[in-house]
Amino acid sequence: MDTTRDEKKLLKYTYLLCLFCFFNLAVIKQPFDKGAMIMAVVICLLVGYSYFVIRRFFSDGDKYIFIFSSILSVIGMVMLYRINTAVSIKQIIWFAIGVTGFILIVVLMPDTTSFSKYKYIYLICTLIFMGMGFFAGTEINGSKNWVSIGGMQFQPSEFGKLFLVAYLAAELKNYKNFKNLIIPCIVVMISLGFMVIQKDLGSALIFFGITITMLYIATSKFRYVIVCFLLAAVGAVISYHMFGHVRLRVMIWRNPWPYVSDQSYQVVQSLFSIASGGLTGSGLGLGHPEFVPINTTDFIFAALCEELGILMGFAIIILYFLLFYRCMRAAVYCNDKFSRLLAVGYSAMIASQVLVIVGGVMNAIPLTGVTLPLVSYGGSSMLITFFSLGIIQKISEEGR
């Protein structure tokens, strides 16, 4: 079935959303902000040209993966421009690099089936990136998960996720019995241990979500999932008693109000921001996102809900669900088990990250410092997300 007409219609709505939002931001500034309209045109050109290349030369794959990711990126860049113009300019550069990587993966990468034989390379890279923060990291916002090389800072755990999924896919594709799970289990526990020691609880939750999803898809045994949850519960209790930062996060989650001027300030300001926006929001450019701490990364969802409303918050979650659905659809139509597990792992990675940060911002779960994929500012997150989506796009090409 030809879906080109529907794809182009959705792209037109994406352009309209981008132009309308940036025009709104340009109008409310005095004098008229021409820079906002330049940003809008550049973003539309990037999205349109990228879609043209993918549709023109690789017409078999699922183009909705790129379209939904572009819509989310547009929403993020609009909000970043509203909060901090300099940050939004950096984000559009990362967006351009990420989209370029997406296209290069689709154009240049051979069939993913041939990459299953490199599992030991994935294993080594996983352990290196997971431990890099512990041995050479800098503590920022309470987590020692940032590494500085040549004046540039990045989160090695972001790249670790990419290699962990590849390693688990290469290892689990040959699953026959429980013995095949021993080594992957040790690798995952080492990875989780590094994240807990580095106080990167968000990444630990994401790795856990990736692992149980891939484990169930590879084995079809629900009892393994139950065992993983039981082991995670034991590990959580041990971590709670061993590490003060875990106890602090749980304390804030249970009752943030007594600590509003200190430890729980971020969470409380986030809740106030979401509540003040109501259903429809205060209006783009008319709210006070400056009262929300770390509003360009961890708490951008709260700033979005304040100015665009809870309805926009629900719309963003629906867009993530649609992106997750299209990514999992690529896995369903794939015949190779390694490629299928890759698609499942990268889909679970994005979904887990969304659930962790949205849940933390709304205090549904203990707050963990991770970015909202494609929406929050972050070069490492933007690149890894688009690289992951590029691999899934390639898998969708192979499955047709």
Report which of 162, 181, 263, 168 is spatially closest to residue 223, judged by C-alpha positions.
181
* Domain containing residue 316: 4-399
The partner residues of 138 in beta bridges, in order of sequence, read 146
Domain count, the chain: 1
Per-residue pLDDT 10s for the chain (400 aa) are: 457 788 889 999 999 999 999 999 999 888 888 989 999 999 999 999 988 888 887 767 788 999 999 999 999 999 999 999 999 999 999 999 999 999 888 888 878 888 888 889 999 999 998 888 777 767 666 666 777 776 677 788 888 889 999 999 999 988 888 888 889 899 988 888 888 888 778 888 888 999 999 999 998 888 888 998 998 888 888 888 887 778 888 888 888 888 887 788 888 899 999 999 889 888 888 888 888 888 888 899 999 999 999 999 999 999 999 999 999 998 888 888 899 999 999 999 999 999 999 998 998 888 877 889 999 998 888 999 999 999 999 888 865 5
DSSP letter assigned to residue 215: H
Reported as type and span, the H/E element at residue 338 is helix 337-361
- Rounded Cα gap, residues 79 and 341, in angstroms: 34
* Side-chain-facing half-sphere of 233: CA atoms under 13 Å: 6
Tokens (6 digits) for 130 = 């997971």
Would you tell me the crossing angle of helices 337-361 and 156-172 to the nearest 10 degrees?
A: 140
77 Rama sector, left if φ>0, alpha if ψ -120 to 50, beta otherwise? alpha
Structural contact between residues 354 and 206, judged by C-beta atoms closer than 8 angstroms: no
Structural contact between residues 155 and 146, judged by C-beta atoms closer than 8 angstroms: yes
Tokens (6 digits) for 153 = 């800072």
Q: Taking the alpha carbons of 101, 106, 112, 115 in that order, is the dihedral positive or negative?
A: negative
Tokens (6 digits) for 173 = 């594709």
For the entire predicted model, the pTM comes to: 0.92
